Chain A
Amino acid sequence: QKEVEQNSGPLSVPEGAIASLNCTYSDRGSQSFFWYRQYSGKSPELIMFIYSNGDKEDGRFTAQLNKASQYVSLLIRDSQPSDSATYLCAVNDYGQNFVFGPGTRLSVLP
C-alpha cells in the first residue's frame, strides 16, 4: 500500500515568517512530486512540482526533494494571510498513479 504522510496541523506561523511543510512517502519507485493548495470549499490548485533531488524555487515557494530519505518539503517565504489553506502533497510513480497525503492545514496569522 503506497502511503504519503503529512502532519495534519494546523501549522500556525506569523505573517512574514517562513512556513515549512513536510511530506514523506513509502514507495521508493515514486518519480514525481507535487504540492497543491486547497482553500476551504475549493478544489486543489497546483503550486509546483519537483522531479530531481535538491531544491526548486518558484517565487516565494521552494520545493525540496530527498529521494534517499523519501522526503519532500515545501517552504513558503514571507508568508501571507492569503496563504492560509490546506497543502496537499502528491506522489506519482510515472504511471499516473497519484497518491495524495491527508494535507497540512496552514494558518498565517496577521
Chain B
Amino acid sequence: KAGVTQTPRYLIKTRGQQVTLSCSPISGHRSVSWYQQTPGQGLQFLFEYFSETQRNKGNFPGRFSGRQFSNSRSEMNVSTLELGDSALYLCASSPLEGSHSPLHFGNGTRLTVT
C-alpha cells in the first residue's frame, strides 16, 4: 500500500506570495491532518479534515487554510507568506474518525520563505 504522498518536496517563495501544498493520504484513510514543524516550536497542529469537513483547527492565523476533496486528498494554502512560515509542513493520515488509530506521516514539504 502506498504511503502518504506530499508534493512538492521543496519550495522556495518570497515574502508576500502564496503557496499551495498537496497531500494524498494512504488509500482508505479518510482523516488528514497538517502539521508545521520548526526547530524552535516542534510539531504544531494546523488542522484536521475528515470527509471533506474541517473538524479541528490549531492556533494559526487565517492565512493558513486547507480543504479536503471527496477522494480524501487534501491541500493546504498559505497566503501572504512571512519569513516565519519557513518550516517543514507535514501531512498525516489515519483511517477512522474518533479512533485510536495512529497518524501516518508523509515525507513533508520543506518551505523556505526569503
Q: Which A residues lie at the B interface, using CB under 8 A?
A: 31-32, 34, 36, 42-46, 49, 51, 88, 90, 92, 94-103
> What residues on A are CB-neighbors of B74 within 8 Å?
none
CB neighbours (8 Å) of B102 from chain A are: 34, 46, 49
Residues of chain B at the chain A interface (Cβ within 8 Å) = 31, 33, 35, 42-43, 45, 48, 50, 55-56, 88, 90, 94, 97-100, 102-108
Are B42 and A51 touching (Cβ within 8 A)? Answer: no
* A45 nearest CB neighbor, chain B only: B105
Most interface-central of B56, B88, B105, B106 (chain A CB within 10 A): B105
Alpha-carbon gap, A51 to B102, bound state (A): 11
Contact between B42 and A101 (Cβ–Cβ < 8 Å)?
yes
Can you give 6 contacting A-B residue pairs, CB < 8 Å? Answer: A32-B100, A43-B105, A90-B103, A96-B31, A97-B48, A102-B42
- Number of CB contacts from chain A to chain B under 8 A: 54
- Interface of chain B: mostly helix, strand, loop or mixed: strand
Report Cα–Cα, A1/B33, bound state, in Å.
19
CB–CB B100/A46 < 8 A: no
Residue of B nearest to A35 (CB): B102
Q: Which residue of A lies closest to B106 (CB)?
A: A43
CB distance from A86 to the nearest CB of B (A): 10
